[in-house]
Amino acid sequence: MPETFEPRNIIVTGGCGFIGSNFVHHVVREHPEVHVTVLDKLTYAGNPENIAGLPEDRVELVVGDICDAELLDRIVPGHDAIVHYAAESHNDNSIADPEPFVQTNVVGTFRLLEACRKHDVRYHHVSTDEVYGDLALDDPARFTEETPYKPSSPYSSSKASSDMLVRAWTRTYGIRSTISNCSNNYGPYQHIEKFIPRQITNIIDGIRPKLYGDGKNVRDWIHTEDHSSAVWTILTKGRIGETYLIGADGEKDNITVLRAILKAMGRPEDDFDWVRDRPGHDRRYAIDSTKLRTELGWQPQHTDFESGLESTIAWYREHEAWWRPAKAATEAKYAKQGQ
């Protein structure tokens, strides 16, 4: 087992987004010795409510852009690690308007790496399984750390670019970094543009859910809490310069997920609309997380998808005030795209 790194004062970029805020809650709950500085620009996807109520002596919010080198020079010194979640994260948005994806995901990562180089701070890079492109439905293969990069969308190619920067900065400048590539997350605080919360909030609003293409595309679902424990494990026990894939054996096709949502919400299983497919829509993602499990001893704890879905549905029912302000605009954007 590699030596353990014991961070005390970390920066979490994108800590007001879906997965970043779940990670901040995880750290506050599980690691009382750690102080978190959240750096977040508060784009449409960032909401300070996601971390409201956490103890002020444990969590500080700095509102700012990861692309702002001067800001990074002010806040990075004194921290012992950056955990980088901030990104433009939605594939459909990247197809409609790719520029912010290149700016935040590529240039933003470059700025953070430069700050880590200058101030000698450890860096964990949160990435996605989408950098590997897609697999055929009838292919028994799953992605491993050795799978070649073959991203399909502006989003996934910007994430792939950022991963490459991390590898180059690690090899050339000796940045102390680790990378993780995780599969599709679900759980509380996910923006309602994404598949699962979009359909849950549609049903609450009496709108029929929308399924792209033939509905057979497969995603490998993981509860966001398991993603958080995996990132903490890699940050503290991972080997410098290594990549770890994070997944919880949760492959399901979209129509199965949608029918499970409809059933859990008391609707007939065919009560949805087929809509225009996403251009370049990846067919299947599947993660082999053997390296993380055997080398670092990580195990997912929330693998019962039906019960995870039920608690996620309950969360959206109980937090209508949180998602309501974004609902009309999100659906108007989809309607314009025929989705």
Distance between CA 61 and CA 21 in Å, rounded? 11
For residue 82, the partner it binds in ligand TDX, ligand NAD, none, with Cβ less than 5 to 8 A by kind, is none
- The closest of 326, 306, 53, 54 to 186, measured between CA atoms, is 306
**Which is it for strands 251-253 and 218-220: parallel, antiparallel or unpaired?**
antiparallel
Please give the full DSSP string across 178-219, using - where no structure is assigned: EEEEE--EESTT--TTSHHHHHHHHHHTTPPPEEETTS--EE
Pair of tokens at residue 195: 């598949």
Nearer to ligand NAD, 17 or 300 (CB): 17
Q: Which of residues 262-281 bind ligand TDX (CB under 6 A)?
A: 278
Question: Residue count at the site for ligand TDX (CB under 6 A)?
Answer: 16
The catalytic residues are: 129-130, 155
For residue 285, give the amino acid letter: Y
Pair of tokens at residue 277: 């497919």
Q: Which of residues 87-116 bind ligand NAD (CB under 6 A)?
A: 87-89, 104, 108
Residue 245 phi, psi (nearest 5): -85, 140
Q: Tell me if 51 contacts ligand TDX by CB under 6 A.
A: no
For residue 292, the partner it binds in ligand TDX, ligand NAD, none, with Cβ less than 5 to 8 A by kind, is none
Shortest reach from residue 93's CB to ligand NAD, in Å: 9
Q: Are 24 and 15 in contact (CB under 8 A)?
A: yes
Nearer to ligand TDX, 9 or 43 (CB): 43
User: Which of 51, 54, 59, 85: binder of ligand NAD (CB under 6 A)?
Assistant: 85
Binding site for ligand NAD (CB under 6 A): 13-14, 16-20, 40-43, 45-46, 65-67, 85-89, 104, 108, 126, 128, 159, 182, 184-185, 191
Residues that bind ligand TDX (CB under 6 A): 89-91, 128, 130, 184, 194-195, 198, 210-212, 217, 219, 254, 278
